[in-house]
Chain A
């Protein structure tokens, strides 16, 4: 099993093509695969459909690929942090499909688990239910949502071993575990790469079966979106 690649560029080699769908982990700027995003941008691949809860900020994260017009469509729940996003969307250059955050998370989980569709109460009677099948269960109305898969998923973990087992840290876990399961290929970047056997099997969040390739990130900016503090007493 040779999953570890020397850098992000080589880890993505042969996996990228124009018009593909990529899932990218993270919530806001927290837990995003920042090194892999830069490598996807640098590859020049175009007409991408990106599935990600948010779209970074103008100069960090997925926002970098907006600047280069590589994204054609976004599936997200919230995109409020990005001026270039707004400009491209309003001018019609960028397509956008909003999903309620929990529906997005569950669609990805379902996709990775081989579940083609499920019913949820979320969004019943709203715009997001328009054109979708609805059904009553025990007197309550539900909306049918489909599972999501992607050609590639890129995720960020705190620690990984060479067989692809991953452990996330604090709230940087977010969408990463589901996305790791729902890509035809998953590439992970980790802050700490350890040998097989060094991780406690009880503590592993993503079993290595889901991860085909991985890199030790050369550096992590881990930018903070809203720095909030309290005064020391």
Chain B
């Protein structure tokens, strides 16, 4: 069975480490905040100018001056800081954020990422995605393995316009996990019930199978 959105977020949360400063993208990545392992202290960054993102407010406590990068009302926590967009992206571009978890439309076997535009369709913009993939120390992508037509989203080369070149370090799909290295993709984990033949059938990119291939623990 392919992972649900919640299980994808759960698996992605295993990439968090104590003391990390982390930026979570919109969609499934946002759900990762619900699965931060206990005892792991992470500070979430929101690129509109906030470090130390708290949970959604209780009803009636919403503050229009306090939103995340998805424009949702949020709360501050002890230790939160606010800053300008220039400072926020200085923090991102300058390599001070440990981890970004982002969604993707396509990823290539070189770690190229496409997640901001489909030619011919209305383009909403890249927001902060290009800055994040260019500046954050480690970039993890979470996505469905195939698109609605059942075609592989893990490709030999991206067909859509890129968000960044050779920027992805780890790909977590609803079927498996690939590490992106200098010699290409390495299949390291399988979703419960999946096998490497299924992955081969559903993946356009070339990959090698790790000697220590294992089932994901959720």
Which A residues form the contact surface with B (CB < 8 A)?
A: 27-31, 53, 76-81, 86, 89-90, 98, 100-106, 108-109, 120-128, 158, 168-178, 205, 222-232
Contact = CB atoms under 8 A, between A and B. Distances in A.
B20 interface: no
Contact of B73 (A100, A173, A205, A228): A228
Contact of B48 (A27, A79, A127, A223): A27
Contacts of B84: 105, 173-178, 205
A173 B49 contact: yes
A175 B56 contact: no
Contact of A232 (B58, B67, B83, B134): B58
Contact of B67 (A30, A108, A168): A30
B125 A98 contact: yes
B65 interface: yes
B62 interface: yes
B63 A78 contact: no
A174 to B, nearest CB: 5
A77 B128 contact: yes
B85 A224 contact: no
Contact of A126 (B55, B68, B74, B165): B165
A231 B58 CA distance: 6
A28 B71 contact: yes
B101 to A, nearest CB: 17
B165 A125 contact: yes
Interface in B122-138: 122-131, 134-135
A211 to B, nearest CB: 16
B59 A229 contact: yes
Contact of A170 (B65, B89, B164): B65
B125 A80 contact: yes
Given A100-B130, A174-B49, A226-B70, A106 B62 contact: no
Interface of B: 46-50, 55-59, 61-68, 70-74, 76, 82-86, 88-90, 92-93, 112, 117, 122-131, 134-135, 161-165
B134 A120 contact: yes
Contacts of B67: 27-28, 30, 171, 224-226
B130 A126 contact: yes
Contacts of A230: 55-58
Given A174-B48, A229-B58, 20 more contacts: A30-B64, A30-B65, A77-B125, A89-B122, A100-B128, A100-B131, A101-B89, A101-B126, A105-B86, A106-B93, A171-B65, A173-B84, A177-B84, A225-B67, A228-B72, A228-B73, A228-B74, A229-B61, A230-B55, A232-B58
Contact of B82 (A28, A89, A170): A170
A142 to B, nearest CB: 10
A81 B122 CA distance: 12
A109 B88 CA distance: 12
Contacts of A174: 48-49, 84-85
Contacts of B46: 171
A228 B71 CA distance: 9
19 contacts: A29-B71, A30-B48, A76-B125, A77-B126, A78-B124, A100-B128, A101-B85, A101-B127, A102-B89, A122-B130, A123-B134, A125-B162, A126-B163, A128-B130, A170-B65, A171-B48, A174-B85, A222-B64, A229-B57
Given A122-B130, A125-B165, A170-B66, A178 B56 contact: no
Contact of A124 (B68, B83, B124, B165): B165
B59 A232 contact: yes
Contacts of B122: 86, 89-90
A177 B86 contact: yes
A170 B92 CA distance: 19
A224 B164 contact: no
A223 B127 contact: no
Contacts of B134: 120-124
A175 B85 contact: yes
Contacts of B85: 27, 53, 101-102, 104-105, 174-175, 178
In the complex, the 10 A-B pairs of residues with the closest C-beta atoms, listed nearest first: A102-B89, A80-B124, A102-B131, A125-B165, A78-B125, A222-B64, A100-B130, A105-B85, A101-B128, A228-B72
